[in-house]
Structure 1
Amino acid sequence: MPDTEEIDGDVYVFPRYLAGSTYTGDPALEPLMALGWELTHDDLANVYVTAPDRKIRLGYLPEGDDDGLWRINAYSDRFGPPAWGVSFNDTCPTEFVTAFTTALATAYQSGPDYYLAQPDPTDPELDAFHAVVPLINRGWTIQHPRWGVLEMQTPDGMAGLEYAQGRLDAEKELTTLQARWYLWGGPKSGYARWYATASTNTPIPLVTAITESVSDPAPLPRWKDEMLRGLRESAQLVPVTPPLPPVPTPLDVRRIAPRRAPALTTRSIPRWSTTTTPSAVLPARRSGPHR
């Protein structure tokens, strides 16, 4: 357990899919920046990170056209359309994005066969099952079947996953929520709900990195006052620093104070003693006539 001074927050949030964003992108950018990826930004404070081979591009877009804060695309041909795309909106817990970029950095170091790996064409749904396993192992359950969609939810109904089956429109997958993978969490109403999408050809290990992080039972630290109201009301919050015990009252002090032994005011002498103490005073003998 890290020292409380190193924890960026004053509460732990259970479950983590109700933690909300940290409102900083640095932790999610660090795994890619550590590999020497190029960072640029525009005059609106949007940030762009590009791999050395120009085949993976990340956009951190706080001033974008919609709530898609994070957009990551990979290219088999850097001048062609994206081979796959992943997005996270602006209320998504930053740790989920960091889990994805960490896995992406590992895949990039392994080469194109990893960061451009497509699902098994002979049975893509069986291949996709690997990304669902973490959810099953942590208690997520399959919902009522819908035609063409596998849906899972947490027992509390506050987070879910939808996996679309069949053929999908490649352009819509990259520009709308109609993607192969759609994860969400948070209250159904208000601005606290987050989402993440991944298109058809997103490598399964990268999708699994997201599902692993979303379903991890470990809590996330947050500053309570910075959390959206809907999340504070729905999540379980535990103080990072346990509260100090209450100051005892004078009555409490009297109750717990040890009882003192009574003071000795007289000296006790054994009743049936066969000896005398040096301080014992013998009675004077009476003087009388000698016989």
Structure 2
Amino acid sequence: MTQKPEPHHEIDGDAYVSPRHLASTTGIGDPAFAPLLDLGWSIEHDDLGNAYTNAPDRKVRVGYLPEGEDDGLWRINAYRDPFGPPTWGACFNDRTPTEFVTAFTTALAKAYEQGPATYLARPVAGVDEHDPFLAVVPLLKQGWEIDRPRWGVFAIQAPDGLAGMEYTTGDLDPEAELSTRDARWQLWAGTSIDRPVWYATASTDTPVALLTAVTECVADPAPLPRWRQDTYSYIKGMAQLTPILPPAPPAPTPLDVRRAVASRRPAALPAASVPRWSTTSRPALPGPRR
């Protein structure tokens, strides 16, 4: 049974989308920038509406490019030499669910705090936490299966067949990895990898910890909230949309119950002055005779 998050007033949307790889983008860049800005990174905007943030040492750069030259909305690069070519690069297109980008930048912020040995760590097969295979483990645990084998490509596919991940073996062009979809890693959703609804790519030397943060987010069975009117028609036909109900009122406390009962009780009439007889009371005087 699909796990559903508890409704609360901060949810931005009127429907839950399941599976979450069909949720698409929220169209907001702030959540993915937040982990980096919290470290004190600077942010700049150009006249077109694009935004950029840089690490203090200029060795990591993140671009949010709604007015870029292609559909690569997010481009993230890391450098050993800030004046040299990128050591690794990742790209998320303009329909990638925002939560997946945020998972990447959150892991990147953590890695940056740990130093270059972490955020520039190269994947190495068979070496503990740097083994590339670790990146696909979260998906396999959620029922993703190995896809039809192709020469030089390891691929897995979601249970519904509407998402996949590929790892290309052999030598690749480093420049093409950074500027095209011909990268070492590609994660996508849709009916075909050739025309995906969204995709994300990562070059050969992208640290495994960053990739794993994304696949863990993708593999999470909890649905994602979205606004129905902003949901692409393709997704409406493929995904399960569950209405988000308003939050249930809190359970009444005993004090609430007493107050409610008191509010429904009719007001008491003023008490009449009734003389009471007691041993200290004086006897009533006889009335006048007629």
TM-score by length of 1: 0.80
* Aligned positions of 1:190-201 closer than 5 A: 193-201=197-205
State the distance in 2 between where 1:191 and 1:5 align.
36
State the distance in 1 between where 2:66 and 2:53 align.
14
Number of equivalences: 244
Deviation at 1:242, TM superposition (A): 6.7
Match of 1:247 in 2: none
Deviation at 1:151, TM superposition (A): 0.7
Q: 1:9 to 1:183 in 2, by over 3 A?
A: same
Match of 2:98 in 1: 94
State the distance in 2 between where 1:137 and 1:221 align.
23
Match of 1:56 in 2: 60
Match of 1:119 in 2: 123
SS at match of 1:120: coil
Deviation at 1:34, TM superposition (A): 0.4
Deviation at 1:220, TM superposition (A): 0.2
Q: 2:213 aligns with which of 209, 221, 238?
A: 209
Q: 1:74 aligns with which of 78, 83, 97?
A: 78
Deviations 1:119-140 (A, max 9, x none): 127779x811110111111100
| 2:10 pairs with 1:10 | no
* Aligned positions of 1:1-291 closer than 5 A: 1-120=5-124, 127-188=131-192, 193-241=197-245
Deviation at 1:77, TM superposition (A): 0.4
Conservation of the 8 A alpha-carbon contact between 2:7 and 2:245:
no
Instruction: Extract structure 1 runs of 4+ deviating beyond 6 A.
Output: 121-124, 189-192
Deviation at 1:4, TM superposition (A): 3.1
Gaps of 5+ in 1: 245-291
Conservation of the 8 A alpha-carbon contact between 2:176 and 2:182:
yes
Identity in percent? 60
Deviation at 1:112, TM superposition (A): 0.4
Deviation at 1:183, TM superposition (A): 0.4
Match of 2:261 in 1: none
Deviations 1:41-88 (A, max 9, x none): 110010000001100000000000000000000000000000000000
State the distance in 2 between where 1:166 and 1:38 align.
37
Conservation of the 8 A alpha-carbon contact between 1:89 and 1:196:
yes
State the distance in 2 between where 1:242 and 1:94 align.
24
* RMSD (Å), alpha carbons: 2.3
SS at match of 2:164: strand
SS at match of 1:4: coil
